[in-house]
Structure 1
Amino acid sequence: MTTIDGEATDRTTGRRARLNRDAVLRRAVELADAESLDAVSMRRLAGELDVVPMALYKHVSGKDDLTTGMLDLVVRGIAHGDDDTGLPASSVDGEPDPWRSALRRRILAARASLLEHPWALAVIESSTTPTPAVLDYIEGTIALFLNGGFSAGLTHQLMHALGSRLWGFTHELFPTPPPASADEAAAAAAQLADRYPCILRIADAAHHGRDTILGPGCDDQYEFEFTLDLLLDGFEARRAAERRDATPRDVQPKA
């Protein structure tokens, strides 16, 4: 039964439930996960919630508000229960650099979330204004650096170095569409062999598991973690260098 009073039917119990923004966003996320972001229209979502489309406008102002709200729901889930941002720089439970493991967990949690909600990648890339949930995620990440002993200036540079990896993905280096068939792949390889042998050589060296790739190209789990660990190694080296430069030459560190 379709209504106009802002209520929706619980599909498991058949009871009428008061519609609210959270319920609208959660159903939209479920629909996008099951099909795609393109499948999420106000009319389609109203049908899923068993209300008339105008009832949705009490809770979302339109498609843009809906998609940013969906992204916020996903982003809030990334760092849910994350209390590592206040860790001191010193050892905790025998861990010499808690900032590093906390940052690694945070970024890999973001990647796992985008693998679960692949439509969110396009929303992140197309967003021009950060929402409170996005700002909260960025704030927490910066706090890990600052509480881990990094200066504000170095943290600024490291955030730029992370770039899209902050959200768990890497922009594709060679954004070329995959061939439609094995014959086309072989023909493309033959063309590369003469003019671009080095490109072909590294392409042949890569073997990717399709279920671990996020977005187009070869950004799979192993390559993402490999690059992330390289960055974290570099971050730690920069922190150590910054501390050395800040230490007066005539002052010896305590044993």
Structure 2
Amino acid sequence: MLRAAVALADEAGIDAVSMRNLAQQLDVVPMALYNHVANKDELLDGMVEVIVGEIDPPIDSVGWKDAIRQRILSARQALLRHRWASTVIESRTHAPPVVLDYMNSVAGMFLAGGLSVDLTHHAMHALGSRMWGFTQEVFPTPTPPADPNERAVMLQQAAARYPHIVAIATAASHDDASAVGRGCDDQFEFEFALDILLDGFERLHKQGWSSTESGRGRRTTG
């Protein structure tokens, strides 16, 4: 049933997932589904469990930084296969056990690499949704007009008012499905930011890290 719900979301979008529509897909009466889940929230939790189950397990034969990187990129591939999944993960008012298991595993990989509990705490905050393989942009990029002349006028007007934004936005290759706006290679931008974070965590770990009484971190050499 859960895999059928995932398939329905993949095909028709998450808004199409309802007990009635799923029952039609499975050729059963809607009440039959309540033998498996109590309500739609439990159904969505189960769908998240299916998606998280597609994430590759940790790799023990590499260092902590490479292991975390590979696991997060595996999570990204799982969510790219199911474009609706990030919305559902963010919508959960409580973390299903499978979500906590994944987060516990990522935190454990930092700790197994020798990072302190305090630094791991900050690392998990810094990763945020990126540990699941997706990021949320604050400002969406508007869709340019299809007409080339209108598009040129729009770009010219934007360049006159926002020259720096236009300069960096037009400097990259195109990726229409990008979460960071047209003109960006979404996969490259994701890995670029992930690598910066992981390199930063490694640098802080090598320099030594302890927390002050106020909870703010400081670096010490040693």
Shorter-chain TM-score range: 0.7 to 0.9
- 1:216 and 1:60 map into 2 onto residues whose CA distance is 38
Q: Deviations over 1:131-162 (max 9, x none)?
A: 00000000000000000000000101111111
TM-score between both structures, scaled by the size of structure 1: 0.76
8 Å CA contact 2:10, 2:84 repeated in 1? yes
Aligned to 1:111: 76
**Cα distance, 1:210 vs structure 2:** 3.4
Residue among 127, 150, 167 paired with 1:201: 167
Aligned to 1:190: 156
Aligned to 2:191: 225
**Cα distance, 1:216 vs structure 2:** 6.5
Give the direction of change, closer, same or farther, for the CA distance of 1:214–1:25 in structure 2 (3 Å limit).
farther
Matched, 1:33 2:10: yes
Q: Deviations over 1:104-150 (max 9, x none)?
A: 11100111011100010111222221000000000000000000000
TM-score between both structures, scaled by the size of structure 2: 0.87
User: Which letter does structure 1 place at the counterpart of 2:52?
Assistant: V
8 Å CA contact 2:175, 2:185 repeated in 1? no
Residue among 156, 162, 168 paired with 2:121: 156
- 2:23 and 2:156 map into 1 onto residues whose CA distance is 52
| Divergent runs of 4+, >6 A | none
8 Å CA contact 1:118, 1:215 repeated in 2? no
Give the direction of change, closer, same or farther, for the CA distance of 1:246–1:202 in structure 2 (3 Å limit).
closer
Q: Unaligned 5+ residue runs, structure 2?
A: 210-218
**Count of aligned pairs:** 211
Which stretch shifts more, 213-222 or 31-40? 213-222
User: Which letter does structure 2 place at the counterpart of 1:196?
Assistant: Y
Root mean square deviation of aligned Cα: 2.1
Aligned to 2:45: 68
- 2:82 and 2:139 map into 1 onto residues whose CA distance is 24
8 Å CA contact 1:43, 1:53 repeated in 2? yes
Give the % identical residues. Answer: 53
Q: Unaligned 5+ residue runs, structure 1?
A: 1-23, 248-255
- 1:76 and 1:214 map into 2 onto residues whose CA distance is 24
- What SS does the aligned partner of 1:181 have? coil
- 1:58 and 1:33 map into 2 onto residues whose CA distance is 24
Aligned to 1:19: none
- What SS does the aligned partner of 1:77 have? coil
Aligned to 1:140: 105
Q: Deviations over 1:25-51 (max 9, x none)?
A: 110001111221112111111111111
Q: Deviations over 1:176-218 (max 9, x none)?
A: 332342445333312211111001101111223336x358665
- 2:111 and 2:152 map into 1 onto residues whose CA distance is 50
Matched, 1:236 2:202: yes
- 2:70 and 2:13 map into 1 onto residues whose CA distance is 27
Q: Deviations over 1:231-250 (max 9, x none)?
A: 11111101101179474xxx
The structure with the larger Rg is: 1
- 2:41 and 2:65 map into 1 onto residues whose CA distance is 35
Which stretch shifts more, 202-211 or 159-168? 202-211
